[in-house]
Chain A
Amino acid sequence: GEDVEQSLFLSVREGDSSVINCTYTDSSSTYLYWYKQEPGAGLQLLTYIFSNMDMKQDQRLTVLLNKKDKHLSLRIADTQTGDSAIYFCAEMESGGYQKVTFGTGTKLQVIP
Chain B
Amino acid sequence: EPEVTQTPSHQVTQMGQEVILRCVPISNHLYFYWYRQILGQKVEFLVSFYNNEISEKSEIFDDQFSVERPDGSNFTLKIRSTKLEDSAMYFCASSEGTGGSGNTIYFGEGSWLTVV
Is B106 an interface position by the 8 A CB rule? Answer: yes
Q: Is the CB of A42 within 8 A of B110?
A: yes
Q: Is B109's CB under 8 angstroms from A102's CB?
A: no
- Chain B residue nearest to A103 (CB atoms) is B42
A2 to B50 CA separation, bound complex (whole angstroms): 22
Q: Is B56 a contact of A100 with CB atoms below 8 Å?
A: no
Judging by beta carbons under 8 Å apart, are B91 and A98 in contact?
no
Which stretch of A15-23, A28-36, A67-75, A76-84 is in the interface? A28-36
Asked if A99 meets B103 with Cβ closer than 8 Å, knowing A42-B91, A88-B43, A104-B42, the reply is no
Interface residues on B, range: 20 to 34
Minimum C-beta distance from A82 to chain B (A): 18
A31 touches B103 (CB 8 A): yes
Chain B residues with CB under 8 Å of A103's CB are 42
A111 CB contacts on chain B under 8 angstroms: none
Across the A-B interface, give the 5 residue pairs with the lowest CB-CB distance, nearest first: A42-B109, A97-B55, A43-B107, A102-B43, A97-B56
Using a CB–CB distance below 8 Å, which chain A residues touch chain B? 30-31, 33, 35, 41-45, 48, 50, 88, 90, 92, 96-105
